[in-house]
Chain A
Amino acid sequence: MAGKMIAIANMKGGVGKTTTVVSLAEALAADDPTASILVVDLDPQASASACLAGDGLLATMIEEGRTIDAFLALRLITREPARLAPRIRHAVSRTTHKGDPLKISFLPCGPHLRLVEREIIYNLTEREYSMRAIEGQTWKLFEQEFLPLKEAYTYVIFDCPPGISPLTEIAIRASDLVIVPTIPDRVSILGLDAFCQIIWKEPPGVLPKPRLLPHVLVTRWQKNVKQHQDILAQLKVEAKAKDPGICLLNTRVQQAAALAGALANDGAPTFKQKYGEVISVLDQLVQELKGVLRVN
């Protein structure tokens, strides 16, 4: 069975995207030891890469050109026959579960992705590509190199940067599920409408329409904070509307020191040591997502 692609995205930064990516990847791997997970970091800040691989390994991979920006530069700017799959680093997780390292592979992002994306646009424009054609060209590359990864991995998870870059938009549109981590406060949901509008309501042009509505995951949830309760109520109303713009996941990821600590951990912890009290929440999230994706 083909694997599932999941994009973790939000226009706003600081809402817990990277935390969601890393913890979800590890929770999916812990839930099913036969599953293989690939994390693709599309964020030039490379936070997910650093959390998963550690600084040393990440530096080596950047040096070796095993990054997504290096691949895009070769394929779309210098037009070399570079392949994506050999750049993926396997067995990267330092976290173990029941004695076994979690089965996670990853493709990091180097610091130059933004420049490379800009350069691709300049370069293709010089070659008289229209914006639609540039999108088409990038989509074609995605189809050739990213979509086949679904055959090799049970789950491919994209860590999207804040904002909507060309590559992010393609990853979102190609994914089977888009999770939008959102803190239920007024500032954090300001961009949610715009984000959903741009990707889900605007005419898609040459790109495909996303398969499902964006699934909002409430993060840093504090049930005793009134503002959180109010915003959550609003999100529930929106999700239950006649023509809803979002789906609201039932799982709430609470504000927890364990999650912040988990990403800072640079040893080789067990899954239980790493996530402690949050494990039950992660498990609930995994089961809910499997239901949405109709896995099992």
Chain B
Amino acid sequence: MEFTPEALASHILPLLPRDGTPVLNRVMRVMLSRQLEHQIGPEIYFAARDILLKKGKIGRLRGQNGQIFLAATNGSQQPAAAAETAAPWPEVKLMQPLQAYLEGGFRQGLDLPPDSVAIVQDTSAKGPARGLWARPDFILVSAMRFKYLPGAQVDVHSFELKTETGCSVLSVHEALAQTRYTHFGHLVWHLPEGTKSEAKLAEIENHCAEHGIGLIRMRDPSAGDGCEILVDPVRKSTLTTTIEGFLETRLTEAQKSVLIRATQGQR
């Protein structure tokens, strides 16, 4: 018996707790395998999960190889709706404010020349399903040319997003691991003022500085300017061929065209 990702996706939804409790991807595969009496491989599972993510039917959380939960629907009493009133923001809700910041304030801070481009891409669901720490939440690719010198300068940044309670020293290493594909690694931490997690800030800051990882504090995701750079990242000497391979699988065709035009001075 073979399943298509679409067919499998329809089996995932009824298995998710209605109250929005997240389920580990590993456990969901067990539940599906048992229900369908068929071993569900990682490729088809993640393809089905990505379909549901794209449709907004489910949300995802990082850690322990990922979890999924049932997303709120209009007028329902489901978890995301409940989470809105609760203090902690789930990672899935932080994605949009982070994207807005990367496309706005962060990009401006790069001080790129007028002819340059900056591409922001959500890569949280792109890349190898089983790779460890191989899926940054976002990447930002900037490309610029110079007035006197030949060639183009391309910088690739990766961003690892963590919730208020989900950040630890391990997160710094996660962001660091992602720089095997990029030039700059950033850890973005949703850390509102006056929370208990602030006690960990100094330690995380030190580890970021020690490993050359940028630290961005997201104080208030609901505010447009709620992010603050606490530590600047150090540029890694990642091999160009590795970065090319990474961009090949993470950018859309349209983004690749924009990047090629920018590096060749065809804008």
Question: Contact between A101 and B37 (Cβ–Cβ < 8 Å)?
Answer: no
Report if B200 contacts A (CB, 8 A): no
Tell me if A90 counts as interface (CB < 8 A to partner B): yes
Binary interface encoding of chain B residues 25-45 relative to chain A, with 1 for a CB under 8 A from any of its CBs, else 0: 011011101101111111000
B30 to A94, Cβ gap below 8 A? yes
Interface presence of B130 (CB below 8 A): yes
Question: In whole angstroms, what is the CA distance A99 to B38 when docked?
Answer: 16
Q: Are B65 and A99 in contact (CB under 8 A)?
A: yes
CA distance A103 to B41 in the complex (A): 11
Q: Are B26 and A99 in contact (CB under 8 A)?
A: yes
> Nearest B residue to A54 by beta-carbon distance?
B34
Asked if A233 lies at the interface with its beta carbon under 8 angstroms from chain B, I say: no
Contact B37 A93 (CB under 8 A): no
Q: B30–A93 contact, CB under 8 A?
A: yes
Which of A91, A92, A94 has most chain B Cβ within 10 Å?
A91
Contacting residues, chain B, for A103 (C-beta < 8 A): 39
Q: Which residues of B contact A93 (CB under 8 A)?
A: 30
Q: Is the CB of A91 within 8 A of B39?
A: yes
Give the size of the chain B interface in residues (CB under 8 angstroms): 17
Question: Would B33 and A91 count as touching, CB distance under 8 A?
Answer: yes
Q: Which residues of A contact B36 (CB under 8 A)?
A: 91
Q: Cβ of B42: which chain A residues have Cβ within 8 Å of it?
A: 99-100
Contact of A96 among B30, B37, B38, B130 (CB under 8 A): B30
Q: Does A268 contact B (CB under 8 A)?
A: yes
Assess the A90–B38 pair: CB atoms within 8 A. yes
Q: What residues of A have a CB within 8 angstroms of the CB of B27 in the complex?
A: 96, 268
Which A residues touch B41, using CB under 8 A? 100
- Residues of chain A with a CB closer than 8 A to B37's CB: 89-91
Is A237 part of the binding interface, using a Cβ–Cβ cutoff of 8 Å? no
How close is A84's CB to chain B, nearest CB, in angstroms? 16
The reply to whether A99 and B30 contact each other, CB–CB distance below 8 Å, is: no
Task: Give the complex CA separation of A92 and B32 in angstroms.
Answer: 10
A89, A93, A100, A270 pick with most chain B CB within 10 angstroms: A100
A89 vs B33: C-alpha distance when bound (angstroms): 11
Min distance, Cβ A77 to any Cβ of chain B, angstroms? 28
In contact, A96 and B39 (Cβ under 8 angstroms): no
Cβ-defined contact, B34 with A100, below 8 A: no
Task: Kindly state whether residue A57 has any CB partner on chain B within 8 Å.
Answer: yes
Q: How far is the CA of A247 from the CA of B130 in the complex (A)?
A: 43
User: CA of A94 to CA of B24 in the docked complex: distance in angstroms?
Assistant: 13
In the complex, are the beta carbons of A94 and B34 less than 8 A apart? yes
A36 to chain B: closest residue by CB = B39
In the assembled complex, how far is the CB of residue B12 from the closest CB belonging to chain A, in whole angstroms?
Answer: 15
B49 to chain A minimum Cβ distance, whole angstroms, is 14
Measured between C-beta atoms, what is the minimum distance from B22 to chain A in Å? Answer: 14
Inter-subunit contact B34/A57 (CB<8 Å): yes
Q: A91-B33, A99-B130, A101-B33 are in contact. Are A268 and B38 (CB under 8 A)?
A: no
Contact for B39 among A94, A101, A270, CB less than 8 A:
A101
Q: Compute how far the CA of A181 lies from the CA of B85 in the bound complex, rounded to whole angstroms.
A: 57
CB-CB under 8 A from B33, the residues of chain A are 91, 101
Residue of B nearest to A89 (CB): B37
Cα distance, A163 to B130, chains bound together (Å): 47
- A133, B38: Cα distance in complex, Å: 39
How many angstroms between the C-alpha atoms of A90 and B1 in the bound complex?
Answer: 12
**Chain B, Cβ-Cβ closest to A94:** B30
Q: For residues 5 through 24 of chain B, which have their beta carbon under 8 Å from a beta carbon of chain A?
A: 24
Please, how many angstroms separate the alpha-carbon atoms of A99 and B45 in the complex?
12
B131 CB to closest chain A CB, in angstroms?
Answer: 11
Give Cα A89–Cα B39 distance, bound, in whole angstroms: 11
In the complex, chain A residues 252-277 whose Cβ is within 8 Å of any chain B Cβ = 268, 270
Interface string of A92-110 (1 = CB under 8 A from B): 1110100111010000000
Q: Can you pick out 6 interface pairs between chain A and chain B where the beta carbons lie within 8 Å of each other?
A: A90-B39, A96-B26, A96-B29, A100-B39, A101-B34, A268-B27
Given contacts A90-B37, A91-B39, A92-B34, 11 further A-B contacts (CB under 8 A): A90-B38, A91-B33, A91-B40, A93-B30, A99-B29, A100-B41, A101-B29, A101-B30, A101-B40, A268-B27, A270-B26
Residues of A at the B interface (CB closer than 8 Å) are 57, 89-94, 96, 99-101, 103, 268, 270
Give 8 nearest A-B pairs by CB, closest first.
Answer: A91-B33, A268-B27, A90-B37, A101-B30, A268-B30, A101-B33, A91-B39, A96-B26
